[in-house]
Amino acid sequence: MRDPIATATLRIMDQNDSTESAGTTLSHEDIVKVARLSRLKLDEEALEAARTDLSAILGHVARIREVDVEDVAPMPRPLDTVNRLAEDEPGPTLDRSVVLDLAPVTEGDFIAVPKVLGEGGA
Amino acid sequence: MTDPCNIDRRDDLTHRIDAMRRGETTATDRLEASLTAIDRRNDELNAYHETLEDTARAVASEIDGRIARGEEARPLAGAILAVKDNICTTEGRTTCSSRMLENYRSPFDATVIRRLRDAGAILVGKTNLDEFAMGSGSEHCAWGPVRNPWATDRVPGGSSGGSAAAVAADLCDAALGSDTGGSIRQPAALCGVVGLKPTYGRISRYGLVAFGSSLDQIGPICRSVRDASLLYSVMAGVDPHDATTAELEVESWNESMRPAPDQLRIGIPREQRNAEHHPGVSEMFERAIDRLEAAGTSIVELDLPLTDQGISTYYVIAPAEASSNLGRYDGIRYGHRAKPMPGEGLEELYARTRTEGFGPEVRRRIMLGTYVLSAGYYDAYYKRALQVRRLIREEYDRAFEQCDLLLGPTTPGPAFRIGAERDPVSEYLNDVYTVNANIAGIPALSIPAGSTEVDGVGLPIGVHLQAPPFAESRLFGAGSTIESILAD
């Protein structure tokens, strides 16, 4: 059953929609690449579902292309705050054993990971 | 007629703290009542992941002793607070409703937690949320959805749905949420309680698990506006652990500073007044405007043409930042790690760990963010979204030249059914009126505005008040005035 409240929400956005959203359809190749860059291992079914969802979301997102942004400087933070540097003084830190206890696999005082050398570099 | 979704705002945290000071009740008795209520209702509501009863009992007993000796003057002494489970606490786990952090125990307290403890608060439990705060219904949870106390077949909103449900069901005095695109205000509206998203930089995020770092803020979910002001005053202010906190003095506010209705100049965006909402939302919003006008408030209609660009802008910026922030979950230093496979390398382990650890909505947003930041698409999506962001900010600046505050509906509709079939875009559109405050960094408050009957059940509706950066006092003043106008 489609939820009537959710559908009503959708109509609000569409009523002022003068231009059809520019088509943004991801290819199978695109989604395979995005999954790899995201460090996710998806099967074919999950890849196809992701391709459909992302295409629909990007189709909606594409309306930002309708806005005239010529000569507008990008705003990475909402307020024009100035970066603040801390004094370079040592402060309290967590005990090593506390941090090591969080790691899934440890060997002695080290966090253990699979062998990284000899893979030919990913 | 009494509103069916009305909670008694006079019996709020502020009132309860006074009652303990006067010796009419004790922190221990109130805590036991809360724990009993949680025990009775949580199986159904799923609002809490866990309670922190051992420490809570010890703290309550200590506070009762201090009150009895006349030594207790701290502003939150005996306040029973719930904490969204993406805020780090040294007691209990901090799971973010994710299998990735199922067994994660934080070795430190978030700055807000430390400040609340120092002010005498009792932390009663950790509340359920959409995984990593990504969602608008508290359905994307690793251990089942949260249910709305007013209609348990419906969502409480999200992502701070557990916190909002806990406050609405009186399973705590107040709760903490986090708000990246509406995650405090939307569930507050859908549960009939008050929710505040402070100005970006006003409250430290140290110890808040990062989602969208240029958008995230911690804020309170409460029974009244004055409660929101009380919690805000304890939490706000500069923190050396969060370089984005502003070095501006936190103004104090109290109810005696509440403006008369005829001192208010409220802007109503035409785009929000004329949009096709759920009829109950339009009705309650118009009722609010009528009552304000009748009380002498000056109502200014104005235009915010970029209102409907907010969701598009947000769904570039927030996933981009999330894909970067969630890169840290690789199964090496903490959190879930996939079982090793023979001959497997590190890259393969990362991918299997992340695929097992993250739920579908989180994976979707990581991929979306990765896509918009990838070579060839960066300018078309991310850079452009940051340019639209500046225009949205400038649009607010112009609006606030014509009025002191903006008023609109918090959400386009009341709570939707759990499990109803929705595509991602229609779920995202629940935040159409709330995201722009995050994009522009301004403070915003959702206040209960009445309820609407859907399928024979009353569902709460909220109105949304927005103010210029660092004008939280203005928000509390007008919010408190509007709260009493709407409640009478």
Residue B193 near residue B168, CB atoms below 8 Å: yes
A10 contacts on B by Cβ (under 8 Å): 425-426, 429
Per residue in B79-95, pLDDT tens? 999 999 999 999 999 99
Kindly determine whether residue A38 and residue B367, on different chains, have CB atoms separated by under 8 Å.
yes
Among candidates B351, B368, B415 on the partner chain, residue whose Cβ is nearest the Cβ of A54: B368
Question: If you measure CA to CA, which chain A residue comes closest to B246?
Answer: A81
Q: Is B183 a catalytic residue?
A: yes
The token pair that represents B84 in the structure block = 């969204």
Per residue in A30-86, pLDDT tens? 999 999 999 999 999 999 999 999 999 999 999 999 999 999 999 999 987 677 788
Q: DSSP character for B383?
A: I
Would you state the pLDDT for residue B2? 61
B94 contacts on A by Cβ (under 8 Å): none
Kindly report the nearest CA distance between residue B244 and chain A, in angstroms. 8
> Domain boundaries in chain B?
1-488
The pairing of strands A106-107 and B265-269 is unpaired
Would you state the pLDDT for residue B6? 83
B1-488 placed in CATH 3.90.1300.10: yes
The set of residues, in sequence order, having a beta carbon less than 8 Å from that of B125 and lying 6+ positions away, is B38, B48, B49, B50, B51, B52, B82, B83, B92, B166, B172
The token pair that represents B327 in the structure block = 């890169």
Kindly report the nearest CA distance between residue B189 and chain A, in angstroms. 15
Q: Does A82 touch chain B (CB under 8 A)?
A: no
Kindly determine whether residue B346 and residue A114, on different chains, have CB atoms separated by under 8 Å.
yes
Rounded Cα distance, B294 and B447, in Å? 19
Q: Is B84 a catalytic residue?
A: yes
For B453, the 3-state DSSP assignment is: strand
Q: Does A112 touch chain B (CB under 8 A)?
A: no
Q: Which residue has the tokens 């359809």?
A: A25
Per residue in B154-173, pLDDT tens? 999 999 999 999 999 999 99
CA B309 to chain centre: 22
> pLDDT 10s per residue in chain B (488 long)?
467 788 899 999 999 999 999 999 999 999 999 999 999 999 999 999 999 999 999 999 999 999 999 999 999 999 999 999 999 999 999 999 999 999 999 999 999 999 999 999 999 999 999 999 999 999 999 999 999 999 999 999 999 999 999 999 999 999 999 999 999 999 999 999 999 999 999 999 999 999 999 999 999 999 999 999 999 999 999 999 999 999 999 988 999 999 999 999 999 999 999 998 999 999 999 999 999 999 999 999 999 999 989 999 999 999 999 999 999 999 999 999 999 898 889 999 999 999 999 999 999 999 999 999 998 999 999 999 999 999 999 999 999 999 999 999 999 999 999 998 778 888 888 899 999 999 999 999 999 999 999 999 999 999 999 999 999 999 999 999 999 999 86
H/E segment holding residue B301: strand B298-302
Among candidates A1, A72, A98 on the partner chain, residue whose Cβ is nearest the Cβ of B391: A72
CA B218 to chain centre: 7
Among candidates A5, A37, A53 on the partner chain, residue whose Cβ is nearest the Cβ of B364: A53
Kindly determine whether residue A8 and residue B276, on different chains, have CB atoms separated by under 8 Å.
yes
Interfacial A residues in 34-73 facing B (CB < 8 Å): 34-35, 37-42, 50, 53-54, 56-58, 60-65, 67, 69, 72-73
Would you state the pLDDT for residue A23? 56
* Catalytic hit among B34, B97, B98, B159: B159
Q: Is B204 a catalytic residue?
A: no
Measured CA distances, B130 to A108, B11, B96, B356 (Å): 37, 29, 8, 17
φ/ψ of residue B213, rounded to 5: -70, -20
> Domain boundaries in chain A?
22-68
Rounded Cα distance, B171 and A92, in Å? 36
Kindly determine whether residue A78 and residue B439, on different chains, have CB atoms separated by under 8 Å.
yes
Interfacial B residues in 326-365 facing A (CB < 8 Å): 327, 330-337, 340, 344-352, 354-355, 358, 363-364
Q: Does B201 touch chain A (CB under 8 A)?
A: yes
Residue B257 near residue B43, CB atoms below 8 Å: no
Would you state the pLDDT for residue B5? 80
H/E segment holding residue B179: strand B174-179
The pairing of strands A106-107 and B122-127 is unpaired
Rounded Cα distance, B395 and B203, in Å? 25
The token pair that represents B289 in the structure block = 């405007």
Would you state the pLDDT for residue A5? 54
CATH of the domain spanning A22-68: 1.10.20.60
Q: Does B238 touch chain A (CB under 8 A)?
A: no
What sign does the dihedral B19-B25-B30-B33 (CA atoms) show?
negative
- Per DSSP, helices labelled H in B326-383 are 346-357, 360-373
Cβ atoms within 10 Å, residue A11: 14
User: CA torsion, points B166, B172, B176, B180, in degrees to nearest 10?
Assistant: 10
Cβ atoms within 10 Å, residue B485: 16
Q: Does B425 touch chain A (CB under 8 A)?
A: yes
For B239, the 3-state DSSP assignment is: strand
The pairing of strands B80-84 and A110-111 is unpaired
Rounded Cα distance, B121 and B60, in Å? 9
Q: Tell me: pLDDT of A10 over 80.
A: no
